[in-house]
Each structure stands twice: as C-alpha cells, then as structure tokens.
C-alpha cells in the first residue's frame, strides 16, 4: 500500500532501535530510548499516513545496521527517503553522507563544501534534524574547536558511535 509507513524495532548494543520506511525508502531511524507507541505517534505526525509494523520489509536495513553496530565497516546500501527535509537540509545531509568511516569533519567544513561559509549555524540545525543516523553519519560532525557538539540521540551515543569506528575522541 502506498499510503503506509512500515516500521520495525530491533535490539542494538545500546538498546532498542526503531526504523521506518515509506514506499520510497528508509525515512526514520530512532536511536533514542522511546516506546513503540511514541514512535508510532511520531511517524503519524511526520508522514500523516497509516503506520504498520512489518519486520520483514525492514529486514535488509536492520541487518546492515546490526552489522555496523557490531563494529563492521560497511557501506550502507539502503535507499533513503529524505523528502521530509528541506532542500537545504538535504544538501547538508548529502555532504554528511560523504564523510568516510572513522573520519571527522566540522560544521564549518560542511558549510564551506555546500558553498555557504556563513551558514555554520544553519548547518548545525540541519545536522540535528537528520532523520536517518547513522546511515547519514552526523555523529562524525564536530565543532571547529574540536569539541563534539551535540547529537540528537545524546552525546554518550555519539561517543559510542565514534569509538565503534575506532575514532579517537577529541580531548576537549
């Protein structure tokens, strides 16, 4: 059905992860601790479509994420649906998607790369709205002063993901 968002949940090393896909691709990954009812409500508000649990439809992306969470360097192949983002957000997310495994880049670097050096704050806001972390690896984005900056799922999870990629944490 075209008007349905399918979702699933799986256990990761840091707790349950909810994931959803539209007919166009993966549209939301929730790494924060939330209940199934809260996730369903979020999906309904976000997509204004019927919500249905279907573990089978999300099996391949779940396997990719589990592989990643188990410490394997993988190239995600899942198709994404980023239509909920603005054109600017999608541009930022596209640039984040180019950051290689185990590397860090700054918000300032992203702003420069997308051709708007004065948009550092707007880039930070777009990074914070990334709906499909870690497939779009916003945990690899830090502040210019070397500090980690924020992470929508919490700074401790950002540190966990960076350690997973064997990235030395900034000392600040």
- The catalytic position among 9, 29, 110, 138 is 138
Residues 134-158 as b/e (b if ≥16 CB within 10 A, e otherwise) read bbbbbbbbbbeeeebbebbbeeebb
| Beta-carbon contacts of residue 16 (< 8 Å; ≥ 6 apart) | 9, 10, 33
Cα–chain-centroid distance for residue 134?
Answer: 4
Question: Does the active-site annotation cover 138?
Answer: yes
Give catalytic residues, as residue numbers.
138
């Amino acid at each position: 059905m075209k008007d349905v968002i399918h979702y699933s949940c799986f256990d990761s090393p840091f707790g349950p992860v909810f994931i959803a896909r539209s007919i166009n691709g993966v549209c939301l990954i929730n790494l924060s601790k939330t209940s199934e009812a809260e996730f369903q409500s979020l999906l309904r508000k976000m997509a204004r479509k019927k919500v249905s649990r279907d573990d089978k439809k999300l099996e391949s992306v779940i396997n990719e994420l589990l592989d990643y969470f188990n410490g394997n360097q993988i190239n995600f192949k899942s198709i994404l649906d980023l239509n909920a983002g603005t054109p600017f957000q999608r541009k930022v997310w596209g640039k984040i998607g180019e950051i290689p495994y185990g590397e860090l880049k700054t918000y300032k670097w992203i702003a420069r790369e997308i051709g708007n050096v004065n948009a550092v704050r707007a880039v930070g806001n777009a990074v914070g709205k990334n709906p499909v972390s870690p497939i779009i690896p916003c945990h690899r984005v830090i502040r210019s002063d070397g500090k980690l900056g924020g992470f929508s799922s919490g700074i401790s999870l950002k540190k966990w993901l960076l350690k997973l990629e064997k990235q030395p944490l900034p000392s600040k």
